[in-house]
């Protein structure tokens, strides 16, 4: 059996990649994908813990995360389409209206 | 003992009246306000009489003090101050005077205040005063007494400033309140000292502790617990009872409506100081110094205020200075250990001084608000009832034989004269001189107001007698002013002094006079005759100056200009206080407290914090770039920081490893 640490290290690497990509990429779709990557890194950690402890809690949590991620993808893609239409661009640098 | 067991009902009734009138009276017609105010005080008087009857029938023969604890108020460690009321012979006198005279003055006020605005407010305050005064005299410990003490001060403040739109009235109210604070400060320190020494402030426990403590009697010049505690309590008394040097508020207090002057500033509240001294007599008796100070201050005040009274022209001010002077007499009596004589004078004074004020109010009412005696004269035929009742009161205060004041004043002078040592004779001499001055200024008031030529314009002033609601109380008080002193009458014929005997369970045996019975008796007669001759001299002087030779007083004032102006300006005491206390305080408040402490320190701190927050915010706001990814960076940094803190023990060796690696390299 594969030791739990391996899963966790993989999960950490994936999460780190996602976080770095989120911060440094400019394309909204890439950023969106990096968010999915982070979510799945977490899912992996959950499943790994679930297997290690022999309880189902982690797996149930993963299902929740998948559902939320699906919903998020639906809403997020809608936002992305609107942004792209309004700005003629997918560059997040130009979506800075959060500033006062 | 239905009422005595529910003693709380006596003070509670006026409080209810005050609450009802104060809350709902605004829209009520005067009649309903009257019913509530008079009903509550009248019932309170009836209850007081019944309680006194029960006390005298059931409790007094046992030689006990009636005392009952109603509920706990402050309990902290071994300290307890409860709502405890007590009744002993001293309380009996005070309760009857307060409720009786108070009720009469309430009746009078319905006539006097009938046309004034704020009718309900006036009666609400007046009832509130009755409540606090009754708490003061019924209290069984110093703390509850102090509640009443402060409460009557509050009521006094409210009523002096009753016409609050007039600046002089609101100023006078503030003056009374602030001057009393100085005295109260001493009173509280006195209480603290007593508590520290005896661990209780309950009268019966405290006085029992004093008796059993075996602490020595403190001779002249020894400043032990008794002396200091007594002097501090007396400091409170000088404030409340308007003695030197804190008397200045009382003459100004005449800004209030006249019934207030009669009730609060003549008959009841200002005698609270005398009551406290009498109540604490055990402390005072243990200290020679305290007694001498009380006697000297009382005597000096009596004489000092009487001299000012000689030349005042405002009818109420004359009476105000007369009150200060008579209160001095009471303290003089207490100071020579004659507490029952002091309380006796307190009672007779309550009758005749309340009467004088009410009659003066009737005169003012008749004159349509005029208070200056120079614009009166010849009123005796127009307002007959007022004239005769006021004459009775004047005879009583001057010490005409068989009137109330004669007996009480005589007792005080007798006790001064027989006081051991040469000091007693000096006190007696000043007391006698004050009696002369009293008789002079009182008859001066009568002659200027009621006799001689008419000095007002009949077309402008329509002189009219007051309604019976005002005259009724005058007549009752006049009767009391005549017969109120007759408790002491048998003493002149070798019989007992009923008043002193009645109070003897409180004050115990009077100090032995050191004279044989017969010698004391003949001395009493001699002194009484001397006092009467003195009073007559005062009367004749006033008669000669103000009736026979109407131009004389002015000539006399001119030839003695220095003395006259000094007296007329009340020895410039107000100006002195203003220069010595008020102005430095105002300067300190303005230049130090306001401009330095308030503006610089307090406002500076607050403003500094605000400026600091603003400038920090100004710097930090640049982190809000509006760029979502930069926020994400902060989230990541924060998450890393939290992980670092949580796992710091696990992470540290890694740092150590890194450092070693770099060093070895």
* Contact list, A98 vs chain B (CB under 8 Å): 624, 626-628
DSSP B87: E
> Checking phi first, is residue B421 left (phi over 0); if not, alpha (psi -120 to 50) or beta?
left
Distance to chain A for B620, nearest Cα, Å: 13
| Residues of chain B below pLDDT 70 | 420-422, 509-516, 665
Distance to chain A for B634, nearest Cα, Å: 10
Q: What is the pLDDT of residues B626-661, one digit of tens each?
A: 777 788 888 889 988 998 899 888 888 877 888 888
- Interface residue of A17, A19, A38, A97 to substitute, partner B, most B CBs within 10 Å: A19
Residue A50 scores a pLDDT above 90: yes
Question: Given an 8 Å threshold on Cβ–Cβ distance, is B629 in contact with A23?
Answer: yes
Q: Count interface pairs A-B at CB distance under 8 A.
A: 29
Backbone angles phi, psi at B451, to 5 degrees: -115, -175
- Interface residue of B627, B630, B635, B639 to substitute, partner A, most A CBs within 10 Å: B627
> Any residues with CB less than 8 A from the CB of B558 and at least 6 apart, and which?
B564
* Contact list, B628 vs chain A (CB under 8 Å): 92, 95, 98
* Contact list, A97 vs chain B (CB under 8 Å): 626
pLDDT bin (cut points 50, 70, 90) of residue A61 is very high
Distance to chain B for A20, nearest Cα, Å: 9
- Interface residue of A22, A26, A76 to substitute, partner B, most B CBs within 10 Å: A22
Tokens of B116: 């004034």
Select from B628, B632, B636 the Cβ nearest to the Cβ of A98: B628
The count of C-alpha atoms lying within 13 angstroms of the C-alpha of A44, restricted to the half-sphere facing its C-beta, is 18
Alpha-carbon separation of residue B627 from A83, A87, B632 (angstroms): 15, 16, 9
Residue A96 scores a pLDDT above 80: no
Q: Which residue of B has its CA nearest to A98?
A: B626
Instruction: Quote the pLDDT of residue B416.
Output: 85
Distance to chain A for B640, nearest Cα, Å: 11
Tokens of B517: 């019975």
Whole-number Å distance between alpha carbons of B584 and A33: 79
Instruction: Quote the pLDDT of residue A34.
Output: 92
Instruction: Quote the pLDDT of residue A67.
Output: 95
Distance to chain B for A97, nearest Cα, Å: 6
Select from B625, B628, B636 the Cβ nearest to the Cβ of A19: B636
Question: Given an 8 Å threshold on Cβ–Cβ distance, is A31 in contact with B636?
Answer: no
Distance to chain A for B185, nearest Cα, Å: 59
Residue A37 scores a pLDDT above 90: yes
Query: What is the arithmetic mean of pLDDT over A26-45?
Result: 92
Select from B626, B627, B632 the Cβ nearest to the Cβ of A22: B632
Instruction: Quote the pLDDT of residue B131.
Output: 95
Question: Given an 8 Å threshold on Cβ–Cβ distance, is B627 in contact with A97?
Answer: no
H-type helices in B256-338, by residue range?
A: 258-262, 272-279, 281-285, 288-309, 315-335
**Computed from CA positions of residues B157, B158, B159, B161, in that sequence, does the dihedral angle turn out positive or negative?**
positive
From B289, B493, B470, B279, select the one nearest B364 (Cα to Cα). Answer: B470
Question: Given an 8 Å threshold on Cβ–Cβ distance, is A92 in contact with B628?
Answer: yes
Select from A19, A24, A96 the Cβ nearest to the Cβ of B627: A96
């Amino acid at each position: 059996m594969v030791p739990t640490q391996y899963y966790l290290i993989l999960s950490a690497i994936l999460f780190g990649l996602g976080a770095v990509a989120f911060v440094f990429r400019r394309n909204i779709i890439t950023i969106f994908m990096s968010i999915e990557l982070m979510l799945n890194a977490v899912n992996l950690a959950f499943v790994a813990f679930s297997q290690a402890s022999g309880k189902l809690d982690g797996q149930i949590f993963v299902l929740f995360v998948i559902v939320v991620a699906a919903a998020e993808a639906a809403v997020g893609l809608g936002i992305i389409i609107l942004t792209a239409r309004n700005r003629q661009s997918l560059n997040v640098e130009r979506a800075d209206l959060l500033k006062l | 003992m239905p009422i005595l067991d529910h003693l709380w009902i006596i003070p509670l009734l006026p409080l209810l009246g005050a609450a009802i009138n104060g809350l709902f009276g605004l829209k009520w017609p005067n009649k309903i306000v009257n019913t509530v105010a008079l009903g509550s005080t009248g019932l309170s008087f009836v209850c007081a009489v019944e309680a006194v009857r029960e006390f005298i029938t059931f409790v007094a023969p046992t030689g006990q003090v009636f005392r009952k604890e109603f509920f706990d108020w402050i309990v902290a460690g071994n300290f307890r101050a409860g709502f405890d009321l007590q009744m002993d012979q001293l309380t009996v006198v005070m309760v009857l005077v307060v409720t009786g005279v108070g009720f009469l003055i309430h009746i009078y006020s319905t006539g006097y205040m009938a046309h004034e605005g704020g009718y309900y407010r006036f009666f609400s305050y007046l009832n509130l005063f009755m409540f606090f005064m009754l708490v003061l005299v019924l209290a069984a410990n110093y703390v509850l007494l102090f509640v009443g003490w402060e409460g009557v001060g509050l009521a006094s403040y409210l009523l002096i400033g009753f016409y609050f739109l007039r600046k002089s009235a609101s100023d006078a109210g503030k003056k009374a309140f602030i001057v009393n604070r100085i005295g109260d400060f001493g009173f509280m320190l006195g209480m603290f000292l007593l508590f520290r020494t005896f661990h209780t402030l309950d009268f019966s426990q405290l006085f029992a502790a004093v008796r059993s403590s075996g602490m020595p009697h403190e001779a002249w010049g020894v400043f032990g617990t008794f002396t200091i505690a007594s002097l501090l309590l007396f400091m409170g008394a000088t404030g409340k009872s308007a003695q030197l040097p804190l008397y200045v508020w009382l003459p100004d207090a005449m800004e209030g409506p006249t019934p207030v002057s009669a009730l609060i500033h003549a008959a009841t509240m200002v005698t609270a100081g005398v009551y406290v001294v009498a109540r604490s007599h055990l402390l005072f008796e243990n200290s020679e110094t305290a007694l001498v100070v009380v006697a000297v201050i009382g005597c000096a005040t009596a004489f000092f205020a009487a001299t000012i009274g000689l030349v005042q022209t405002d009818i109420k001010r004359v009476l105000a200075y007369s009150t200060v002077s008579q209160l001095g007499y009471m303290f003089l009596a207490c100071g020579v250990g004659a507490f029952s004589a002091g309380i006796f004078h307190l009672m007779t004074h309550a009758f005749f001084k309340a009467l004088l004020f009410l009659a003066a109010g009737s005169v003012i009412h008749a004159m349509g608000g005029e208070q200056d005696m120079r614009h009166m004269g010849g009123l005796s035929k127009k307002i007959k009832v007022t004239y005769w009742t006021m004459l009775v009161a004047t005879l009583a205060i001057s010490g005409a034989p068989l009137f109330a004041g004669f007996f009480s004043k005589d007792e005080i002078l007798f006790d001064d004269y027989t006081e051991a040592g040469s000091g007693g004779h000096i006190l007696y001499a000043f007391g006698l001189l004050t009696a002369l001055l009293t008789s002079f200024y009182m008859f001066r008031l009568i002659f200027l107001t009621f006799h001689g030529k008419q000095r007002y314009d009949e077309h402008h002033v329509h002189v009219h007698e007051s309604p019976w609601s005002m005259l009724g109380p005058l007549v009752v008080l006049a009767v009391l002013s005549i017969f109120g002193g007759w408790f002491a009458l048998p003493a002149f014929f070798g019989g007992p002094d009923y008043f002193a005997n009645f109070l003897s369970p409180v004050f115990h045996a009077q100090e032995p006079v050191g004279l044989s019975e017969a010698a004391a008796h003949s001395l009493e007669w001699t002194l009484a005759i001397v006092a009467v001759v003195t009073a007559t001299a005062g009367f004749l002087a006033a008669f000669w100056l103000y009736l026979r030779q109407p131009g004389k007083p002015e000539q006399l004032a001119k030839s003695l200009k220095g003395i006259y102006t000094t007296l007329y300006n009340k020895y410039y005491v107000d100006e002195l206080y203003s220069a010595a206390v008020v102005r430095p305080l105002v300067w300190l408040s303005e230049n130090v407290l306001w401009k330095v402490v308030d503006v610089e320190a307090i406002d500076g701190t607050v403003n500094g914090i605000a400026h600091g927050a603003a400038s920090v915010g100004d710097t930090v706001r640049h982190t809000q770039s509006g760029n979502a990814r930069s926020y994400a960076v902060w989230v990541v940094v924060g998450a890393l920081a939290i992980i670092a803190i949580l796992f710091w023990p696990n992470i540290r060796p890694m740092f150590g490893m890194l450092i070693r690696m770099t060093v070895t390299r």
